[in-house]
Amino acid sequence: MKDRTDAPTDPSPGTGARSARKARLPGNVVVLGVVSLFTDVASEMIYPLIPIFVAALGSGPVILGIIEGVAETTASILKLFSGIISDKLKKRKLLVLIGYSISSVVRPFTSIVSAAWQIIFVRMADRVGKGIRTAPRDALIASSTPASIRGKAFGFHRAMDHAGAVGGPLLAVAALSVLILGFGMTDMLRTLRLTFALSAVPGLVAVLAIVFFVREKIDPNPAGRSFRFSLRQFDRNFLTYLGVVVLFTLGNSSDAFLLFRIEDSFHKSGALHSFIRSAPVLGDMVARFGDAETQKKLVDILFLPLIWSFFHVIKAAFSTPLGALSDRIGRKRSIQIGWAIYVFVYLSFALLDRLPGSWQITATFALFAIYALFYAFSEGAEKALVADVVSPDLRGSAFGMYNFAVGLGALPASIVFGLLYKAFGAPAAFGTGAAIAGLSMILLAVFVREPRVRSSI
């Protein structure tokens, strides 16, 4: 079978790098970035509070792992089929609109669940929307963008997504503060529910942006060839890359466990509670809430969205420039740098509770800042590599397969992590994730071949 990377290429990956850095991003890329921004504002008003919400409903890390694993696996299966369908129907925008609309409608229903297991169904429905939209959206970005700035385009999209994840937690904290201070609410579950319900507003804005500003862009089939999906259309290099991605994902559990980890460490040490109690305004607010145990839970509710927002500030700031860096130094090198950062951070979180209480706060901010660079280095480069190694008319299917591969390991990764965490503690769970990521780095370096950047769109 002919290698699909034998398409016309630039003389080297660095050719035209200077002009590529100055190139303007296409309108579709900008609008889809804005859509992701508002969607993530809506999502992140809820997501960083899920560990506390689950705990408040009487559950722990195992149910959290099931919630996140089932949700992401559901999305990944649909990403595969939606990508194939978008290539077949030549209707990327329609699928993007349907996907974002489903998520925007169902996400606020988190506010009415009465038991932790019910969140599984809300998260599944939310992820159904994500599964429908992701592969067609990525293919739309790739088809709208020249190859010379494709890393920059995907990096920009991730930056806007992360910018929304900055605003979401801040809006959640603002809503919680108004409800507690302005309306005198002292029922934590009720304040969380009302905050979750408000996520419907930014979700609506995202849907309207798609309707009015996104334009369809489809690559024609070469020589009028009719579309038919088959794995034989993809070369061994691409399929090997997907295999390595699956392995890495097996060690890449939900980031909700990072929030669970710091909540667990801070709650045991009491360091964060003591720090907040000494702050003038926050100390007075916390003091209104009953006994010390209740006050600790309130401190966690206020702190987790803030650290999550800080995390996404770093991701938003670095995703575009580090995504563009892959256009110059190569996709594999960028991905490997990101995965190496992942190994370091997971090993560090394994040992977080070994630090004195006062140092845990500083270490948490430092680790989340470093962890953000893992995303900035790898996210845009991973997707740009997919676009580089497949034929343009198969990009929807290729991105569907890539996202399916990512999700294939999501369910076992999160469930096994939760079981390891409960049975053997955080060091065993985080250490296992780091070891799998390290092995994936080696396999990527040895077995995956990176083509030269193609000059055509």
Could you give the CA distance from residue 172 to residue 159 in angstroms, rounded to a whole number?
20
Homologous superfamily assigned to 28-217+235-447: MFS general substrate transporter like domains (1.20.1250.20)
Could you give the CA distance from residue 430 to residue 421 in angstroms, rounded to a whole number?
8
Could you give the CA distance from residue 434 to residue 426 in angstroms, rounded to a whole number?
12
Question: What tokens appear for 268 in the block?
Answer: 């045991």
Residues 6+ apart with CB under 8 A from 8: 454, 455, 456
More confident residue, 41 or 60: 41
Q: Which pLDDT score is estimated for 35?
A: 94
Most confident of 97-106, 127-136, 148-157, 444-453: 97-106
Could you give the CA distance from residue 99 to residue 96 in angstroms, rounded to a whole number?
5
Q: What is the DSSP letter of 111?
A: G
Instruction: Check pLDDT > 80 for residue 398.
Output: yes
| Alpha carbon 127 to its chain's center | 12
Residues forming a β-bridge with 454: 9
So where are the chain's domains?
A: 28-217+235-447
Mean pLDDT of the chain: 80
User: Exposure of 18 by Cβ count < 10 A (0-12 exposed, 13-18 middle, 19+ buried)?
Assistant: exposed
Of the ranges 12-26, 50-64, 117-131, 252-266, which one carries the lowest mean pLDDT score? 12-26
For the chain, the first-to-last Cα distance in angstroms comes to 23
183-242, pLDDT tens digit by residue?
Answer: 777 677 788 888 888 888 899 999 999 999 998 886 665 545 555 556 677 788 888 999
Distances (CA, A) of 51 to 47, 183, 254, 300, 320: 8, 25, 11, 10, 30
Residues 6+ apart with CB under 8 A from 182: none
Evaluate whether 218 touches 92 at the Cβ level (below 8 Å).
yes
Q: Which pLDDT score is estimated for 75?
A: 72
Could you give the CA distance from residue 278 to residue 143 in angstroms, rounded to a whole number?
54
Q: Which pLDDT score is estimated for 217?
A: 81
Helix segments in 108-149, DSSP class H: 119-144
More confident residue, 2 or 60: 60
Instruction: Check pLDDT > 70 for residue 94.
Output: yes
Of the ranges 266-280, 332-346, 363-377, which one carries the lowest mean pLDDT score? 266-280
Could you give the CA distance from residue 259 to residue 390 in angstroms, rounded to a whole number?
37
Q: Which pLDDT score is estimated for 111?
A: 81
* pTM assigned to the model: 0.70
Task: Give the model's confidence band at 372: pLDDT under 50 very low, under 70 low, under 90 confident, else very high.
Answer: very high
More confident residue, 318 or 297: 318
Q: Read off the amino acid at residue 205.
A: V
